[in-house]
Structure 1
Amino acid sequence: MKIIVVNNPAAKNGGALTILKEFLGKIYSLKCNRKFYIIVSLEELKKYETDKVKIIVIEKQGFKDRILWDNLRLKKFLKNKNIMPSLLISLQNTGVNIDKKIPQFIYFHQSLSITNLKWNLFHKEERIYWMYKNIYPFFIRQYLKKANKIIVQTEWVKKAFLEKFNYSEKNMVLMKPSINRIDIANINMIDKQKYRIFYPASPFMYKNHKIVIKALGDLLQERNELSEKIECIFTFLKGENKELDELIKKYNLENIIKLIGKVNYEKVLEWYKSSDLLVFPSYLETFGLPLIEAQDFNLKILSVDEKYAREVTESYKNVEYINKNDLDKWKNQILKNLID
């Protein structure tokens, strides 16, 4: 029986974990003569284990630990466990140091390293983005020649990767995530008395919550009577981003913007069903999963005008695109949807 090793201890949350779970879900029902060894760092993923899928849980890795794992420890680990893979799949953007005779596929989904955006190393909030933009590409290039295939989610990522790393197009595979259709009828509604705007995103700088906060602040300063008719849902908690907390306070939006924290997938679906408008001003994504999910609910979308957004919503009619910095347009389009 052929053995496939999947390396992904870096997936702990967010999009990376979603991709890993999607992958596990696919091989769970796969009928083939293969044995999968999936290396992860979350004990909860043990539930995906079957007679053909072995979940190996290792300790969570910091940046230095991951470098050591990819370069030295993984190869030694496989040898000690007497695991002889016929294929290695990396779901965490970079290749690993293994025998060159073993084919290696890399699933690449890290837009920070291929964007043209610039970050300031000396700005605390931007430092991590600067690292991904300027340092992380070294680790992508490190074992790129060993990679037989690079798999990407979108056409824009494929083009950007080819340009950034001067890689051979014949070895690249475009594989859009296969999102299961949502059975809306079985999803609960969340009670509401106001027009509801929803934005499911972590409070990272590039998620661009600021433009939504400022747009709502300006709108309600001009039309104060609307404050009793509108609410906006963000999926983080007070204290996670002090700059956003201060901005919400500055515009007196504490009763308008509700910070509900991270919620599980089932609850996110309930918020989609119970909302009137999805805003998605994030200017740095590989795919933008909420843009896909919202379409199943026929939800009106105000989206940032970026390549990824146009690609994943190209066949959807209920979407408007707005420049990431066009405050007046964000404000006016929110108002237009509110009063229509």
Structure 2
Amino acid sequence: MRIVVNDIAASEGGAMTVLKDFYTDIVKNHVDIEWIFLLGDNYLQETKNIKVYTFPEIKQNWFKRIKFELYSGARIINRLDADIYISLQNTATLGVKSKQYVYFHQVIPYQTTVKFSLFRKEESILWVYQNIGRKIYDFLFKHSEANIIVQSRWLKQRMNNFLANNILINKPSISANITTKNERSDRTNPVQFFFPTSNNPYKNINVIFNAVEILKKQNITNFKVILTIDDINHQNNNYINCIGKINRQSVYEYLANSVLIFPSLLESFGLPLLEAADIGTYILAADLEYAHETLENYKNAKYFPPQDAEKLAGLMKDIIKNGTDNMPSNTIDSYGRKTADLILEDYNE
């Protein structure tokens, strides 16, 4: 069997995590299949049964990607004569003769929680994803008849309102190589809160800044907040430490010694929530659909309205003052089916 995997758009962040996790799995478990990866650069090592073709010119901008998905990509993919074609980059490809699967993790076009503005500089590209991107995704999905893989029930339900495609659910799983466990972070001095994030507006970092300001006014100072963004000028900088991007192992180490704050307004799943729950970390999460689904049956979580800094400050204050001994110590199952296994099972049905 031959399988072609397209992830030309991946270069960093969550997209690269998805790609490398997929690659690691097939190296270990699917050596009997011939794999061909179409990438933007040489991110993966070739093996006896894995080949990598690079297309850096396609990765340069959205227009070249759309051209690839509309017509030029099919010529390349069909020449490879694959049994299965997998896109890990959200978009389907028209004209592909192989059975097609799309791993879809771009929540912005189908969510209804946040409306972005074309006229705010920091939101303009998000407005394009939300409005124009949605039309492109719908068109490609409908005309390719691709099978779609999503990470959550809520996203499948939302997409079912617009698409008749076969939609499969496969929640992310985390690395079984990580054995870190939470170290009762509320007993540290000062108490440490942690949010692995980017600076995107929908990550809702301002609610943390506002909560910190509320705590300061109440003379509560025995805490600090760690954010994985570049350093910024902010009035709460004595209590907020911006450490920039860190690797995955470092994220786990911070989770093991912190209380996770997760106020994000938009997530298809919320992988840091799953990672934190896997090691028993205490979590303060936005009271939104994705968080409740990710943390289903996890007892070490409290929820707050995502724009309510007063409520978040109250939850932080309770942990700072009283600790978390009153919360049960537990973890949740974080090792779901691998994407390749799901696809092969569906293909063989």
TM above 0.5, one fold? yes
Amino acid at match of 2:34: K
Q: Are the counterparts in 1 of residues 87 and 102 from structure 2 also a CA contact under 8 Å?
A: yes
Match of residue 338, structure 1, among 317, 320, 331: 320
Amino acid at match of 2:121: K
Unaligned runs of 5+ in 2: 323-349
CA distance in 2, matches of 1:162, 1:57: 34
Aligned to 1:321: 303
CA shift for structure 1 position 273:
1.6
Q: Are the counterparts in 1 of residues 182 and 257 from structure 2 also a CA contact under 8 Å?
A: no
- How many correspondences in the alignment? 314
Q: Are the counterparts in 2 of residues 103 and 147 from structure 1 also a CA contact under 8 Å?
A: no
Give runs of aligned pairs for residues 190-201 of structure 1, distance below 5 A: 193-201=189-197
Amino acid at match of 2:17: T
CA distance in 2, matches of 1:110, 1:74: 21
Aligned to 1:178: 173
Aligned to 1:242: none
CA distance in 2, matches of 1:261, 1:6: 31
Aligned to 2:257: 274
CA distance in 2, matches of 1:143, 1:326: 38
Match of residue 261, structure 1, among 244, 250, 263: 244
Give runs of aligned pairs for residues 69-218 of structure 1, distance below 5 A: 69-78=68-77, 82-99=79-96, 101-116=97-112, 117-144=114-141, 145-163=143-161, 165-168=162-165, 171-181=166-176, 182-184=178-180, 193-218=189-214
Aligned to 1:52: 49
Report Cα offsets for 1:284-326 as digits up to 9, x if no partner: 0001011011112211100001111000101110101111111
CA shift for structure 1 position 195:
1.1
Report Cα offsets for 1:220-241 as digits up to 9, x if no partner: 1221xx32x2111000112xxx
Amino acid at match of 2:210: K
Q: Are the counterparts in 2 of residues 106 and 147 from structure 1 also a CA contact under 8 Å?
A: no
Amino acid at match of 2:150: V
Amino acid at match of 1:162: N
Aligned to 1:237: 230
Q: Are the counterparts in 1 of residues 182 and 280 from structure 2 also a CA contact under 8 Å?
A: no
Q: Are the counterparts in 2 of residues 9 and 61 from structure 1 also a CA contact under 8 Å?
A: no
Match of residue 283, structure 1, among 250, 265, 272: 265
CA shift for structure 1 position 111:
0.5
Q: Are the counterparts in 1 of residues 182 and 256 from structure 2 also a CA contact under 8 Å?
A: no
Q: Are the counterparts in 2 of residues 3 and 35 from structure 1 also a CA contact under 8 Å?
A: yes
CA distance in 2, matches of 1:309, 1:280: 9
What is the root-mean-square deviation in Å for CA atoms of aligned residues?
Answer: 2.0
Unaligned runs of 5+ in 1: 239-244
Amino acid at match of 2:321: I
CA shift for structure 1 position 29:
1.5
Q: How has the CA–CA distance of structure 1 residues 85 and 115 changed in structure 2, closer, same or farther, with 3 Å as cutoff? A: same
Amino acid at match of 1:231: K
CA distance in 2, matches of 1:41, 1:311: 33
CA distance in 2, matches of 1:161, 1:185: 36
SS at match of 2:8: coil
SS at match of 1:184: coil
SS at match of 1:111: coil
SS at match of 1:290: helix
Give the alignment's TM-score, normalised by structure 2.
0.85
Q: Are the counterparts in 1 of residues 227 and 243 from structure 2 also a CA contact under 8 Å?
A: yes
Q: Are the counterparts in 1 of residues 260 and 281 from structure 2 also a CA contact under 8 Å?
A: yes
Q: Are the counterparts in 1 of residues 35 and 51 from structure 2 also a CA contact under 8 Å?
A: yes
Amino acid at match of 1:199: F
CA distance in 2, matches of 1:321, 1:123: 29
Q: Are the counterparts in 1 of residues 10 and 39 from structure 2 also a CA contact under 8 Å?
A: yes
Report Cα offsets for 1:26-49 as digits up to 9, x if no partner: 111123642111111242x223x2
Q: Are the counterparts in 1 of residues 10 and 40 from structure 2 also a CA contact under 8 Å?
A: yes
Q: Are the counterparts in 2 of residues 4 and 37 from structure 1 also a CA contact under 8 Å?
A: yes
Give the alignment's TM-score, normalised by structure 1.
0.87
Larger RCO: Structure 1 or Structure 2 (Cα < 8 Å, ≥ 6 residues apart)? Answer: 2
State whether structure 2 residue 7 is matched by structure 1 residue 13: no
Aligned to 1:309: 291
Aligned to 2:345: none
CA shift for structure 1 position 193:
4.3
Q: Are the counterparts in 1 of residues 182 and 281 from structure 2 also a CA contact under 8 Å?
A: no
CA shift for structure 1 position 17:
1.5
